[in-house]
Amino acid sequence: MTIRMHTDSPSFKQKAGMSEQFDTVIVGGGMVGLSCAKALRDQGASVAVVDRDRYTEAASTGNAGMIVPSHIVPLSAPGVIAKGMKWLMNPESPLYIKPSADPAFMKWLWAFQRHCTQAHVDHGIPVLRDSILASLELLDAWCSQEGFERAGLKHTGLLMLHFGEKARQENLELADIAEKAGLEIERLDRDGTLALEPALKTDISGSVYFRQDARVDPEGLLRAMEAHVRGLGVTIIEGAVRSLQRSGRKVVGIKTADRTIEANHLVLAAGSWTSKLTKGLGTQLLLQPAKGYSVTIPDAESGGVDTGMNMPCLVTDQKISITPMPGGIRFSGTLGLQGYDLSVDERRVKPIRRHAALYCGEEHVSPVPTWAGLRPASPDGLPFVGPLPDMDNVWVASGHGMLGVTLGPITGQLIAEQIAGSAPSLDTVPFRVDRFA
Ligand SMILES: Cc1cc2nc3c(=O)[nH]c(=O)nc-3n(C[C@H](O)[C@H](O)[C@H](O)COP(=O)(O)OP(=O)(O)OC[C@H]3O[C@@H](n4cnc5c(N)ncnc54)[C@H](O)[C@@H]3O)c2cc1C
């Protein structure tokens, strides 16, 4: 497919009152949408991003900010369902599934359980490893540019901590898998762990250190990317996409409350809401919102407390992550399959807050509100990156689940390559949108 270049700038057309027209319009300006905008603009296309409110709604702001080569095992793995069933009985557990007879949800659950196999894990590991490492390389290149300082990228590595025997076994199994996949890891006892992160306060028995992992301030990264793509000439349009006008196998108009935008190509990167948009085009995307929470305690300079932590950590026993960031420290966790409800269930947040209090003191934790965000989860733990079935100019970039910050840059590149019709830098077959059909 070729890209038609517009020689006259979109802003001129807006001023002149003509209909706005771009080579590509992206719906959604979270990490994934902005990554697509950057890659497409770098390729020379005129690009607009339409987003209704990324700094309050997007998952891309309040997440744990971990860039994770350590996460090469897809979420749908053997044993996950049994563990999940046990957790369902506990109101403070990290997993919650709201019973629902919604056919789309049932279909998603069915597909999820079908992928909890060793064969799927064996298929997913190299796919995730290669895409995560390629994405990290792109992120490194972006963050070496002026303006990206606020992204706070730090190549610290990550500690996967364990207290109990079960979590230790789980971590050691993951260490074996990661080592076999060629990742740089170290198995550490308690002293070895404390030598790497002396500010740890919990009574851990050991950890696995993933040397290639990194951390960012996700909101800082998003703001840096927004400024960067604006500087490149990408148009950012504030507004909700209400409908997509279709003519045969093409979308010919993208409608918000007050305008219609025309584009040669449309990229749907609306996170958990992407399936609402594909539904209008006749495709049921197997995508479910998976709610997570975070609590961010400011550092002493901002009225909070300094913990001295440098290393992002994941507590395997409780599935809680701890991420030091510029200006504070973030504690996050839980996965709730309960639709688009963004309300905070304080019972689920309790273990996260308890952990935060251990490091920061209750007096610094209690005034801090809880952030909630929706991970766009696919049933097989792999994203959707490719053309929408039965359409000639619509592309999907969503379904990144727990990995959207990590996989944003490579997703943008793969979308730009596919739209340009050039050979993709990675095999895109595992990310096909029609793989569950
Ligand atoms: C607690 C938690 C911790 C996490 N930790 C990590 C981590 O450490 N590392 C990692 O890699 N990932 C992490 N994730 C996952 C990551 O946050 C997501 O995968 C990623 O943010 C998804 O990005 P996105 O751009 O696809 O979606 P979003 O960030 O949700 O953006 C979608 C955007 O689309 C817009 N939109 C939707 N519908 C419309 C419409 N009709 N019109 C206009 N705009 C629309 C929304 O306003 C939103 O701004 C975490 C998630 C959670 C919840």
- List the pLDDT tens digit at each of the 437 positions of the chain: 323 333 333 433 443 344 689 999 999 999 999 999 999 999 999 999 999 988 888 999 999 999 999 999 998 888 887 777 777 778 888 888 888 899 999 999 999 999 999 999 999 999 999 999 999 999 999 999 999 999 999 999 999 999 999 999 999 999 999 999 999 999 999 999 999 999 998 789 999 999 999 999 999 999 999 999 999 999 999 999 999 999 999 999 999 999 999 999 999 999 999 999 999 999 999 999 999 999 999 999 999 999 999 999 999 999 999 999 999 999 999 999 999 999 999 999 999 999 999 999 999 999 999 999 999 999 999 999 999 999 999 999 999 999 999 999 999 999 999 999 999 999 999 999 999 98
User: Which residue spans of the chain are classified as CATH 3.30.9.10?
Assistant: 67-109+152-216+287-377
CA–centroid distance, residue 374 to ligand 1 (Å): 7
Atom of ligand 1 nearest to the CA of 407: 11
Topology adopted by domain 10-59+220-285+381-431: FAD/NAD(P)-binding domain (3.50.50)
Atom of ligand 1 nearest to the CA of 33: 25
**Tokens standing for 285?**
């995307």
Distance CA(128)–CA(430), nearest Å, equals 10
pLDDT at residue 205 in the model = 96
pLDDT at residue 9 in the model = 39
CA–centroid distance, residue 398 to ligand 1 (Å): 9
Task: Encode pLDDT of 107-144 as tens digits.
Answer: 999 999 999 999 999 999 999 999 999 999 999 999 99
Q: How far is CA 394 from CA 244, 255, 277, in A?
A: 11, 15, 11
User: Which residue spans of the chain are classified as CATH 3.50.50.60?
Assistant: 10-59+220-285+381-431
75 ligand 1 Cβ < 6 A? no
For atom 13 of ligand 1, the residue with the nearest CA is: 402
50 ligand 1 Cβ < 6 A? yes
348 ligand 1 Cβ < 6 A? no
Residue 162 parent element (H or E): strand 158-162
**DSSP summary character for residue 309:** -
For residues 36 and 412, the answer to whether their CB atoms sit within 8 Å is yes
pLDDT at residue 91 in the model = 80
Task: Encode pLDDT of 245-257 as tens digits.
Answer: 999 999 999 999 9
CATH classification of 67-109+152-216+287-377, choosing from 3.10.180.10, 3.30.1360.120, 3.40.50.880, 3.30.9.10?
A: 3.30.9.10
Phi and psi at 372, nearest 5°, equal -125, 140
Distance CA(143)–CA(189), nearest Å, equals 33
pTM over 0.85: yes
351 ligand 1 Cβ < 6 A? no
- From 41, 77, 18, 413, select the one nearest 230 (Cα to Cα): 41
Rounded to 5°, the CA angle 108-111-117 comes to 140
For atom 33 of ligand 1, the residue with the nearest CA is: 28
Atom of ligand 1 nearest to the CA of 65: 8
430 ligand 1 Cβ < 6 A? no
CA–centroid distance, residue 203 to ligand 1 (Å): 33
CA–centroid distance, residue 40 to ligand 1 (Å): 20
Out of 60, 251, 260, 276, mutate this one to test ligand 1's pocket (max ligand atoms within 8 Å of CB): namely 60
CA–centroid distance, residue 404 to ligand 1 (Å): 7
Atom of ligand 1 nearest to the CA of 398: 26
